[in-house]
Amino acid sequence: GVNITIPHKESVIRFLDDISEEARLVGAVNTIVYKDRKLVGYNTDGSGYMASLKEELGFNPKSKRIIIIGAGGAARGILAALATQKPKSITVANRTLSRAVSLIKTFKGKFRDTRFEAIDLDNNMLKMSFNSVDLLINTTSVGMKQSKALKIPLETLPKIAIVSDIIYNPLETLLLKKAKKIGLTTHGGLGMLVHQGARSFKLWTGMDAPMNVMRKAALKALKMEVGSRK
C-alpha cells in the first residue's frame, strides 16, 4: 500500500476501485491498500490528528469552538473526526469561500450538535471569529519547509487558545513560533504524521505499528533533511 499527501488526496479517488465509508464522508484519501487485486482508499488523517491532540495536550473537542484554516483533503478529514466529538462550533476559513461553504455543507445535516460556519480568509473576518476560539488549526501547506508564514491575527486569540499546525517539516513552523512567542499553547504536525501512519500500517499489515520506532525514524529523517539544506 501507499500513503497519499497534499495536493492529491481528492484527485486520487477516481483511480481507485473502492473507498471506505470514512473516506467517502471526507471526500479524500490518504491511504491506499492493495487487496484482492483491488485498490481501496481510506482516510486516517482525522483519527491520526485526534490521537495526537489527545496524547500531547489532552484536548477534548466536546463543546469547544474550533476554527479550521483551509478546505482541502486534510481539512475534510480533521473536520469529520472533530464533528463526531460534538464541539460547540466549527468554522472553516478559506481563501476561496465557495470551497469552505461546500465543505461544511457536507457535514451540516449529519452533525446537528455542532454549529458550522464558512468564512473568507480575511483578517477582519478572522478577528471577529478569533475572539472566542479554543482551537485554531492550519491545514494548508503555507509554512511548509519555512517557505513563509501564514499571515493571520494571532494576537487577537484568547490566551487559552491552542494553535495547531499539521505541517511537520519544519517541526515548528513560523506560525507556531509566533503563537508561542505571544504565550499561546502550540501543537505541531509530527504526532499526526506518526499516528495516521500507524493506522495506515495496521491497514496494510493487520498488525499494530511500532509507534516509538516510527516517531524516532520520522525525527531522524527530518533532522537529516534540515542538515542537508544548511
Coil, strand, or helix at residue 205?
helix
Among residues 141, 188, 123, 194, the alpha carbon closest in space to that of 162 is found at: 188
Residue 68 and residue 104 share a domain: yes
Residue 206, pLDDT > 60, answer yes
Coil, strand, or helix at residue 215?
helix
Q: Do the Cβ atoms of 39 and 15 come closer than 8 Å?
A: yes
Question: What are the pLDDT digits (tens) for 15-72?
Answer: 999 999 889 988 889 999 999 999 999 999 899 999 999 999 999 999 999 999 999 8
Cell numbers linked to 177: 513560533
Would you state the pLDDT for residue 179?
96
Residue 130, pLDDT > 60, answer yes
Residue 105 and residue 15 share a domain: no
Its domain, for residue 169, covers: 46-189
Residue 171 and residue 110 share a domain: yes
Q: What's 172's domain CATH number?
A: 3.40.50.720
**Block residue for cell numbers 488523517:** 45
How wide is the angle at C-alpha 87 spanned by C-alphas 19 and 136, nearest 5°? 85
Cell numbers linked to 28: 479524500
Residue 176 and residue 144 share a domain: yes
Q: What's 215's domain CATH number?
A: 3.40.50.10860
Residue 74 and residue 109 share a domain: yes
Number of domains making up the chain: 2
Residue 69 and residue 152 share a domain: yes
Cell numbers linked to 142: 503555507
Q: Do the Cβ atoms of 138 and 162 come closer than 8 Å?
A: no
Residue 100 and residue 24 share a domain: no
Question: What are the pLDDT digits (tens) for 92-117?
Answer: 999 999 999 999 998 988 899 999 99
Coil, strand, or helix at residue 1?
coil
Alpha carbon distance 170, 223 (integer Å): 9
Residue 205 and residue 112 share a domain: no
Would you state the pLDDT for residue 166?
95
Amino acid identity of residue 61, one-letter, is P
> How far is the CA of 111 from the CAs of 79, 88, 89, 105, 107, in angstroms?
11, 11, 11, 11, 6
Residue 124 and residue 114 share a domain: yes
**Residues with catalytic roles:** 9
Residue 131 and residue 19 share a domain: no
Residue 142 and residue 71 share a domain: yes
Residue 121 and residue 197 share a domain: no
End-to-end CA distance of the chain: 33
